[in-house]
Amino acid sequence: MKRWRVLAGAVVALALGLVALGRLPRPAAEAVTEAVAPLDSVAYRVLESGVVPQVATVTKDHRVRLTIVNASSRVIEPRIPGYDDRLVIPALAAGQAWSGEFIADRPGADFALWIADEPAARLTVAGSHLVEGHR
């Protein structure tokens, strides 16, 4: 019977020790600051006669806030091949606008805003495809 009392006392002492340990002040956690990529904005306006601007340039590894305004009288289905895995742009009715963000991490001048299955404007991502520090 004495062993059970010793065991019960040890369990109570351990529980009280854990409660006391849990109430000790904790050191302040270091604030984790995530580097936020700079923001570039591009706004395309789709008109009856074409798209304004015809060419837009953003910087590689920047966040891009893309806005598309349908100022034409028809429904458009815009897309940007090369970034369409990151941008899901819905069909836009006349007078409707859409805005979204993506990271421009694929450099080149080969990106285009496609409207009605043909390129209507160009998007250039300026910057090197090489990792910084490599030659």
Close Cβ partners of 109 (under 8 Å, ≥ 6 residues apart) = 122, 124, 125
pLDDT higher than threshold 60 for residue 135:
no
Position 110 in a domain? yes
pLDDT digits (tens, 9 = 90+) for 90-120: 999 999 999 999 999 999 888 999 998 899 9
Position 5 in a domain? no
The CATH number of the domain where 65 resides is what?
2.60.40.420
Q: For the chain, where are the alpha helices, taking DSSP H only? A: 2-22
Predicted confidence band of residue 50 (pLDDT cuts 50, 70, 90): very high
CA dist., res. 89 & res. 85, Å (int)? 10
Close Cβ partners of 8 (under 8 Å, ≥ 6 residues apart) = none
Position 34 in a domain? no
**Residue tagged 């409707």 (tokens):** 96
Position 135 in a domain? no
Instruction: Compute how many other C-beta atoms are within 10 angstroms of the C-beta atom of residue 38.
Output: 10
Which residue segment(s) compose the domain that 107 sits in?
A: 39-126
Are the C-beta atoms of residues 82 and 106 closer than 8 Å to each other? yes
Number of domains within the chain: 1
pLDDT digits (tens, 9 = 90+) for 4-18: 787 777 777 777 777
CA dist., res. 83 & res. 104, Å (int)? 8
Position 102 in a domain? yes
Position 15 in a domain? no
Position 91 in a domain? yes
Q: What is the structure's pLDDT at 70?
A: 97
